[in-house]
Structure 1
Amino acid sequence: MMLLQSTLSQSPLQNHRHVSLSSSTSSSTFRSFVYLQGVTNLKFPLISCKISEDGSQGAVVDYEKRSQMNWNRVYKRLSLSEDPNTGAATVLNQCEKEGKNLTKWALSRIVKELRRFRKYKLALEVYDWTNEREERFRTTTSDTAIQLDLISKVHGVSSAEDYFQKLPTSLKDKRTYGSLLNVYGKAKLKDKAESLLNEMRTKGFTVHSLHMNVMMTLYMSMREYDKVDTIISEMKSKSIPLDLYSYNIWLSSLGSRESIEGVERVFNEMQQDALTNGNWTTFSTMATTYIKLGQLEKACECLKEVESRISARDRIPYHYLISLYGTMGNKEEVQRVWSLYNSIFPTITNLGYLTMISSLTRLGDIEQAQKIYEEWLLVKTFYDPRISNILIGWYARNGFFEKAEELFSQMTETGGKPNAASWEVLAEGHVKEKRISSALSCLKEAVVLAEGSSNWKPKPTIISAFLELCEEEGDMVSKERLVEEVLRIANCLEDAGYMSHISLTKVVETGAGTIDDYELKVEVEAEAEDISTQLEGIIS
């Protein structure tokens, strides 16, 4: 990864400025890891709406005389530019040539909207533009924290670290430290996150639940549930109030350990906390625990609470309801919620179709799943291979391999691009049909598509089944090729947790527990990701 070279501003205010960092260099892209939404008692402004006090009086008056331009018009010009190479500076300079005054408030609103729609490079370019006009736009620590977050997404973790290290001490406060902690948390850099948190402790920056929530979410994603308990204990010993999302993460941690007693104890504690009130996430987390342990009556009660707490235009709770009712085997409720969902929202997103089709296949209603799939094909805004993969996987696992191949071909013929999982489900079907060579070819295709991604590894169940088939057929050559051409390239051999479920010398006896435990780990990480998407960091 190329490290971007940051330079300190050479203006008279250089000791009070952030580090300017160009956004033109390409590198890794990271998705946002953010703090918990709904926290209002520590919500920092995106950008301070002040003009630098040491700008000349004449210059200030000139800009104040200009008519202010509506931020939304500027945002649209930026986001809808037909030329992807047109940077933010070009658009903003043109606006000023038209005699419009771009205020700090308007630019902050534009940045917020760009971040909302994940246009991180443009958002960073807006900051670069303001950084070059220090006499007009005073930089705050909130600005610096946002820029650090954007740099991590556009240029990668190393560049964000470089930016942070070169900041003057005056700009290193709880906002910028919290932003860097976010970066480490999302990248699952546990050692760096823990080290930074210790430094924050010494500086007195860990006085609010936000930073602790980040660490707990990180530990959830790594399945280190005991450390969630440790953070909770620290918060209580230091009189750091738990907010709603602290409780939700704690509940999720206990649910992942299948501790009904613990879940109910924490829920009762939360009810006695006058500062918190359970939301739909609280009850969906509890419902998940009850379903895992077969207490379906209590799960149903929780799902009714979920439904009663849905806000007007929030789609996500409906996805949870459909998925959880499907897991329970309650087809009637799945259909009811789907009908309700369709009546409320004029269009259904890909995620909505994905959730419904997945639930129907889980219920064994392949005809209805196929019908919903065909409906999606007619209305889709873009081709999401995950939706096709659900049906391809069902057909491949249930003895309808020709139908699976037909759907796979249909995907490619209609403009869809198979992903690693698409090839993986085909490989699963070939293993079931005892076609070693074809299965290996599919797994190799999957690895090629996933190369460079740390998030994909072939499912241990498929690898174990392939190895068992090789043992049965006495095909040691294919077994060795799997190791060298799939597992090694996908970085599986270095992953002790992954390899603990696979034996390369003999077939693993994977009774009801081992592989399921690994897949539960994947589900837990996905659940932690769902928690993080409800976050809205201290820097926004």
Structure 2
Amino acid sequence: MWALRRASLSLRNKSFNVRVSSVKLLPNTSVEDESGVFDSPKMVCAKCGFSSMNLCYCSGSNSGHGFLKFSLGRLGFSSEAGAKTTKEEDDDLEDGFSELETPLGEESEKGVVSDSEDSDESDESEITGPHNELELPLSHDVDEVSTGKRSSRKRADSELFKAIMNGTGPTIYTALEKWVEDGKELSREEISLTMINLRRRKIYLKALQLSEWLESKKHLEFVERDYASQLDLIAKLHGLHKAEVYIEKIPESFRGEIIYRTLLANCVTQNNLKKAEEIFNKMKDLEFPLTPFACNQLLLLYKRTDKKKIADVLLLMEQENVKPSPLTFKILIDVKGQSNDIDGMDQIVDQMRAEGIEPDNYTKAVLVGHYISGGHDDKAKMLLKEMEGENLKENRWVCRLLLALYAKLGMADEVGRVWKVCETRPSVEDCVAAIEAWGKLKKIDEAEAVFEVMARKWKLTSKNCSVLLNVYANNKMLTKGKDLIKRMAHKGCRIGPLTWNALVKLYVQAGEVEKADSVLQKAIQQSPVRPIFSSYNTLLEEYSKRGDIHNSEKIFYRMKQAGYISRLKQYQILIEAYRRANVPAYGIRDRLKADNVFPNKTLANLLVQVDGFKKTQASDLLD
């Protein structure tokens, strides 16, 4: 673990105290950059001999910065940032999910897609790859709980799922009652398969209705994982507060570690730093064992919000003898890649292999993405060939990853070659990845051709149409986008958050930001499902570029109304609107403090520029 901690984060230019029990371990004095990763290749610690390429812990410096304190008695966390930054770069990475959490070729939503916009309903066999990256212990595994075995049936075999999806009306209760009246089996296995289908398609509202119906009608004797599944769905659809209220209704005997780890994972998914740390501490107070799962959740959250705390989590894992899991290594690889520390990233891979863990293809895809971003195309191509294996036809499922990565490299011929392997018997995921790849390469005709393959093979859905809509939006093809919307309406596709988001992008890219705003507002009024984060952020950025304070504030307020937490990046975009309009932003520092947002150097500079009480030569003369 010590070797991992040294190889995981290059802490450059920062001084802070880390306290674990009575042990004080202090890194050498330095200043952190905005990415939260440190790199000072010419500095070597005189005490321990580690170069700053590694994480150095020696007891020779203390500059009095804000520090994060761990006490093994309580594991208390301070959310104070207290960090200094050294360069003014765009901190998009703070705000988005990287390729690690969002599989290549899928929409990064930061929101909820319910049954107002279903995913594909193909008869394709099970999705290959991790559909539960956060390791949530959900009750679609209830057959495992009761039998100790995972069902070998394919997701398309669930008759109950088909009955639910073929039902009419706003709820699924009529279909469920009919199922029982017809005397059909309502076994754990059938319920499990149905939940798998609903969750994988992100049809969370129907999944919650099914869970609540089973509980209220006593058709299923709930165990802890069943309660955890319902808790997860409530958190996704109704927010963390409602989820906490639900926990109080769970019988005390079932309020175990699985319940709280599910709530913790949802805090992380919703980027709620304060609540995540609170739940983590509560798990310690309840004397649940410290697990790799809980630590990984904090690592995921700090990767997005406060990278300097990652080293402290690793130190805690070392002190508590918590062995890193494959996900731990994936997170650290991604952190290194985001900071363009390719050597450090390779060191993490070496350490991973030394621990007997071979990187899977999803991890390799993350590595390739960072190699490309860092200008290491040769390394990327070598790893892509390794991912392909000797026979790509026998390794078909990896095609969707290869399509996205070859497109990122700009290699249209390779995208075409991989698609030919898929073309004879494509899956929905293959088609989606190919459309996105051709779109990235600006090969619109090829993207449309793949879309038509998908349209002939399966019923058109809003989710699949939104992929092509995004291609049109990214290439400023408003007319084609409108035509596709009309086609969707003609085919009876249900319109939801992904389609709204594509429409917003279409109009914004066409310069019609007011129309985009109007579309989103109508969507909010017509549907109980909230728009995804990206829809609001696209409008906020566009209004900010125009120096339109009124509309920037309006969108900022709507984001809060929708339940999205105001973070550093959103405040930065908002304050940019004031700067461009050359108008003071009175009270903005108090707003930042109220939202527990601590400025980095970029935001601090912006705050100075919009400070209504700053001294100037003119104001001095007038005073």
TM-score > 0.5 by shorter chain: yes
For residues 157 and 421 of structure 1, the distance between their equivalents in structure 2, rounded to whole angstroms, comes to 27
Q: What is the DSSP-based 3-state SS (H/G/I as helix, E as strand, rest coil) of the residue aligned with 2:381?
A: helix
SS at match of 1:458: helix
Match status 1:382 vs 2:461: yes
Q: Deviation digits for residues 95-122 of structure 1, max 9, x if unmatched? A: 4xx3x66445554454444444445445
- Residue identity matched to 1:410: D
Aligned mates of 1:281, 1:49 — CA distance in 2: 31
Secondary structure of residue in 2 paired with 1:414: helix
Q: Is the 8 A contact 1:290 1:296 kept in 2?
A: yes
Q: Does 1:254 align with 2:327?
A: no
Question: How far apart are residue 173 of structure 1 and its match?
Answer: 1.1
- Partner of residue 331, structure 1: 412
Which of 138, 151, 166 is the equivalent residue of 1:80? 166
How many residues align structurally?
A: 425
Aligned to 1:453: 531
1:124-523 equivalences in 2 (<5 Å): 124-131=208-215, 138-220=221-303, 222-274=304-356, 276-308=357-389, 317-345=398-426, 351-361=432-442, 365=443, 368-369=446-447, 372=450, 381-383=460-462, 384-394=465-475, 396=476, 404-415=477-488, 419-430=500-511, 439-445=512-518, 447-448=520-521, 451=524, 452-453=530-531, 455=533, 456=535, 457-458=537-538, 462-463=542-543, 466-467=546-547, 479=548, 482-483=551-552, 489=558, 496-501=568-573, 502-506=576-580
Question: How do 1:59-74 and structure 2 match up within 5 A?
Answer: 72-74=158-160
The CA distance in 2 between the partners of 1:449 and 1:186, in whole Å, is 27
Compared with structure 1, are the counterparts of its residues 111 and 386 closer, same or farther at alpha carbon in structure 2 (3 Å cutoff)?
A: closer
**Alpha-carbon deviation of 1:36?**
3.8
The answer as to whether partners of 2:224 and 2:255 remain within 8 angstroms in 1 is yes
Structure 1 residues 457-516: Cα deviation after superposition (integer angstroms, max 9, x where no partner): 12676446544xxxxxxxxxxx456446656655699654234252434389xxxxxxxx
1:37/1:504 CA distance change after superposition, 3 Å: closer
Q: Which residue, 180, 183, 198 being the options, matches 1:93?
A: 180
Give 5+ residue unaligned stretches, structure 1. 1-27, 51-70, 397-403, 431-438, 468-478, 509-516, 519-540
**Partner residue in 2 for 1:435:** none
User: Residues 86 and 336 from structure 1, CA distance in 2 versus in 1: closer, same or farther, beyond 3 angstroms?
Assistant: closer
State the distance in 1 between where 2:448 and 2:191 align.
Answer: 47
Aligned partners of 1:357 and 1:373 also within 8 Å = no
Distance 1:312 1:162 in 2: 50
Offset at residue 189 of structure 1 (A): 2.0
Q: Does the 8 Å contact 2:198/2:206 carry over to 1?
A: yes
Tell me the secondary structure at the aligned position of residue 239 of structure 1.
coil
Query: Residues 498 and 247 (structure 1 numbering): CA distance in 2 closer, same or farther, change over 3 Å?
Result: same
Question: How far apart in 1 are the matches of 2:540 and 2:429?
Answer: 33
The answer to whether the Cα contact below 8 Å between 1:89 and 1:125 also exists between their aligned partners in 2 is no
Normalised TM-score (structure 1): 0.66
- d(CA) in 2 for partners of 1:82, 1:312: 41
CA contact (8 A) 1:48 1:138 kept: no
Deviation at 1:204, TM superposition (A): 3.9
Q: Work out the CA distance in 1 between the residues paired with 2:320 and 2:211.
A: 37
Q: 1:367, 1:315 → 2: CA distance? A: 24
Unaligned 5+ segments in structure 2 are: 1-110, 116-129, 148-156, 490-494, 525-529, 583-601, 604-623
Alpha-carbon distance, 1:341 to partner: 2.5
Q: Distance in 1 between matches of 2:361 and 2:447?
A: 27
Q: Aligned in 2, Cα 1:260/1:156: closer, same or farther, shift over 3 Å?
A: same
Mean Cα displacement is larger for which, 223-232 or 334-343?
A: 223-232
CA shift for structure 1 position 243:
1.8
User: Normalized per residue, which structure has more helix?
Assistant: 1
3-state SS, counterpart of residue 242 of structure 2: helix
User: What amino acid does structure 2 have at the position aligned with 1:273?
Assistant: E
CA distance in 2 between counterparts of 1:128 and 1:459 reads 37
Rounded to whole Å, the distance in 1 between the matches of 2:222 and 2:541 is 53
Q: Partners of 1:385 and 1:261 in 2: how far apart?
A: 38
CA contact (8 A) 1:77 1:91 kept: no
Which of 384-393 and 303-312 deviates more?
A: 303-312
Q: Secondary structure at the match of 2:578?
A: coil
Q: CA deviation at 1:193?
A: 1.3
Q: How far did residue 280 of structure 1 move? A: 0.4
Q: What residue number does 2:101 align with?
A: none
Q: Among the aligned pairs, what percent are the same residue? A: 18
From the superposition, tell whether residues 283 and 29 of structure 1 become closer, same or farther in structure 2 (CA, over 3 Å).
Answer: closer
Distance 1:414 1:223, change over 3 A: same
Q: Distance in 2 between matches of 1:310 and 1:226?
A: 42
- RMSD in angstroms over aligned alpha carbons? 4.2
TM-score by length of 2: 0.58
Per-residue deviation at 1:279? 0.3
Task: Determine the C-alpha separation between the residues in 2 that align with 1:350 and 1:450.
Answer: 28
Structure 1 pair 107–487 and aligned structure 2 pair: CA distance change class (3 A): closer
CA contact 1:389–1:425 (8 Å) conserved in 2: yes
Judged with a 3 Å threshold, the aligned counterparts in structure 2 of structure 1 residues 104 and 448 are, in CA distance, closer, same or farther, namely: closer
